[in-house]
Amino acid sequence: MTDLPALPEILDTARVVALPLHTRFRGVDVREALLFEGPEGWAEFSPFAEYGDAEASTWLSAAIADAWHPRPSAMREGIRVNATIPAVPADQVPGVLARFDGCRTAKVKVAEAGQSLADDLARVRAVRAEMGPEGRIRIDANAGWNVDEAERAIHALAPFDLEYAEQPCATVEELVELRERIRYLDIPIAADESVRKATDPLAVARAGAADLLVIKAQPLGGIERALRIVAEAGLPVVVSSALDTAVGLSLGAALAAALPVLDHDCGLGTASLFADDVADARPHGGMVSAARVVPDAAALARLEAPAERRGWWLDRLSRCHGLLAADGR
């Protein structure tokens, strides 16, 4: 980023927020994020706490680009989204689904540490029962299985008519092997971590390791870079979120709106996982808007993170900004 804004320009509007979740998700009960405002509007910097500065700086690059540069032209005003079902007990599934107004697709978390395949089967069965035969169900293992475990699990879950299985294994090589093993099931494989956490996000496409890609704007460095990856990969894509606030979800929706082709419901309805947010980005009628979000001033104040956490995020912002400056980005 050759026109990197000076750090004080970002710090001048920086707000650190802590959003409570209805249900523990991805190991957290509260999602923290740093928001700031640039000439084009508000943007979000929210790499997960365990990520190192080198990886987190790519997320900052995305946020700066969103706040300082216009978004690309939109091909659509609204985006169809899926419901997201955390690794909850089966009896909690109806309550979770009820928060995703009008969604015809559900992504179900599986392979949770400490749980069993029986737990996954019960959860997916409950989702199918709630959504009926017309509902679309996709599973997400977050690389939690080895190849043998993935083959067994997907075979067991196949009767529930899966749309696809997302990141069942960790490596590109494992995905290639698994895809060959389960070809007879005709269940597509989607790659997420193999794209957003990879040094070469196109390796999974070149290896024939996936049938579609899950694309996230922040981890990939912003909309423009994500669009280039999609164009070069030549595979169908699903635009998803990284448990973003309403501001970050707006960036994802803008990416989805800019795609020439969008055949799958997107994972941009995760605002419904939050008990409170800086703006209302929940799906309505199974859709979210592609318009830029402006956070509510009262919500920013209400959700302000404790001083210790604010200091942690500002220090992180400063370090990542320094990395971008050193790299000439």
Q: Is the pLDDT of residue 1 over 70?
A: no
Catalytic (active site) residue 216 = yes
The verdict on whether residue 9 carries a ligand-binding annotation is: no
166 is in an annotated binding site: yes
Q: What is the pTM of this model?
A: 0.96
Question: Over the stretch 167-204, which tens digit does the pLDDT of each residue have?
Answer: 999 999 999 999 999 999 999 999 999 998 888 999 99
Those residues whose C-beta lies under 8 Å from the C-beta of residue 121, and which sit 6 or more positions away, are 156, 157
Share of the chain above pLDDT 90, in %: 95
Place of tokens 């979120």: 241
228-237 contacts at long range (C-beta below 8 A, 24 or more positions apart): 229/195, 229/201, 229/202, 230/259, 232/202, 232/205, 233/202, 233/205, 234/205, 235/205, 235/210, 235/211, 236/211, 236/212, 236/261, 236/263, 236/264, 237/212, 237/213, 237/262, 237/264
Pairing of strands 28-38, 41-45: antiparallel
Give residue 104's pLDDT: 98
Compute the mean pLDDT over every residue in the chain, rounded to the nearest whole number. Answer: 97
* Identified catalytic residue from 109, 282, 310, 321: 109
**Per-residue pLDDT at 199:** 86
- The pLDDT of residue 2 is 53
Instruction: Tell me the CATH class for 78-295.
Output: alpha beta
192 is in an annotated binding site: yes
> Would you list the domain boundaries of the chain?
7-70+298-327, 78-295
Task: Tell me, yes or no, if 107 is annotated catalytic.
Answer: no
Q: Among 3.40.50.300, 3.50.50.60, 3.30.390.10, 3.40.930.10, what is the CATH number of 7-70+298-327?
A: 3.30.390.10
Q: Which of 123, 216, 310, 316 is catalytic?
A: 216
